[in-house]
Amino acid sequence: MKGTFFQKPLEFRLLVEGESWNQGDPIAGSLSVMNHGAEEISHHEIAIFLACGELGKVRLKSPDAFRVIDVVPMESNRKNFNWKFPTDRNCPITDQFSSLFLLYGRGKDLPALGQIQLSVQPARLIQDFLNILQIHFRFVLKTQKTNKNCVESKFAPPSAKAFAAVEKLTLSCRFNEDEFETRYVFNVKMIDASSGGMNMKKQKKEFQQSFTPAQYRLSSGRMNHDFMENSIKEVLGRLGFGVGF
């Protein structure tokens, strides 16, 4: 990815290695600065910021559109330099509400700097885990976003009769150091006969699981597909609707 930004008399050219990233991947590249004016300008206020931006506020150029995660200042008066940002495995993903951005230029007025929006997807383990839910158990992914350091995915249930009482599933995934944590919230419809009638009421059923690296990862480094599939099967079996696979 490339970006060019003019801040008279300076011209900034940002090179980013790659087009998309997963949570936990480093983001790296280089920045070059050209001075088109006659006067020498100090580079001490030039920097690259890794920031999370609220897309609605970014479009409006609101002063609070960005939350800075990390910053790399430009060293001395060099015309170009290399930079690198690590990312956390719980860092924000790109969704319809927010995204990670690279901001670059001179000064600290973030909305006024050059910007490149980054495409960040869930960590590979999360993607593989959600694929099991979709391919093997036939849940349909509807929306996905970052919520409280989790990847929150909302699913429609399979059309099978066993899931007729399930309206939707909200599945949150995150890392707690090396442990992988999942939280299932099922919105279900239940028959309530306590008031003397046969009324339908809605309630939520919640289940949580936590996995160590020895459980979710094989010695090859790949996800332990069979183990994680069985963990999903266990949760679905606890729903109590005769769900079986």
Which residue ranges make up each domain of the chain? 2-121, 124-237
CA 236, CA 207: separation in Å to the nearest integer? 10
- pLDDT value of residue 201: 80
- Tell me the per-residue pLDDT of 189-212, one tens digit each, with 9 for 90 and over: 877 666 565 667 888 999 999 999
Q: What is the Cα–Cα distance from 175 to 208, expressed in whole angstroms?
A: 13
Environment class of 129 (CB within 10 Å of its CB; exposed 0-12, middle 13-18, buried 19+): buried
Q: For residue range 17-65, what is the model confidence (pLDDT) as tens digits?
A: 999 999 999 999 999 998 887 777 666 789 999 999 999 999 999 999 9
Query: What is the pTM (predicted TM-score) of this model?
Result: 0.89
Looking at the domain covering 2-121, what would its CATH class be?
A: mainly beta
Q: Structure tokens of 87?
A: 């990312």
| Residues sharing a CB contact under 8 Å with residue 102, sequence separation 6 or more, in sequence order | 3, 14, 16, 27, 48, 49, 50, 51, 115, 116, 118
Beta bridge partners of 46: 106
Q: What is the structure's pLDDT at 245?
A: 53
Mean pLDDT computed over every residue of the chain: 91
* pLDDT for 241: 58
Q: How far apart are CA 214 and CA 191, in angstroms?
A: 41
What would the pLDDT profile of 110-122 be if each residue is shown by its tens digit?
999 999 999 999 9
Q: How many helices (H) and strands (E) does the chain have?
A: 4, 15
Tell me if 218 sits within 8 A of 124, measured CB to CB: no
135 contact partners, CB below 8 Å, separation of at least 6: none
Range 231-240, long-range pairs (CB < 8 A, 24+ positions): 231/182, 232/132, 232/133, 232/136, 232/137, 233/137, 235/184, 235/207, 235/209, 236/137, 238/207, 239/166, 239/186, 239/188, 239/205
What are the pLDDT digits (tens) for 150-159?
Answer: 999 999 999 8
Class of domain 124-237 (CATH, top level): alpha beta
Joined tokens for residue 129: 């885990």
- The predicted pLDDT at position 138 comes to 94
pLDDT tens per residue, range 161-191: 888 889 999 999 999 999 999 999 999 987 7
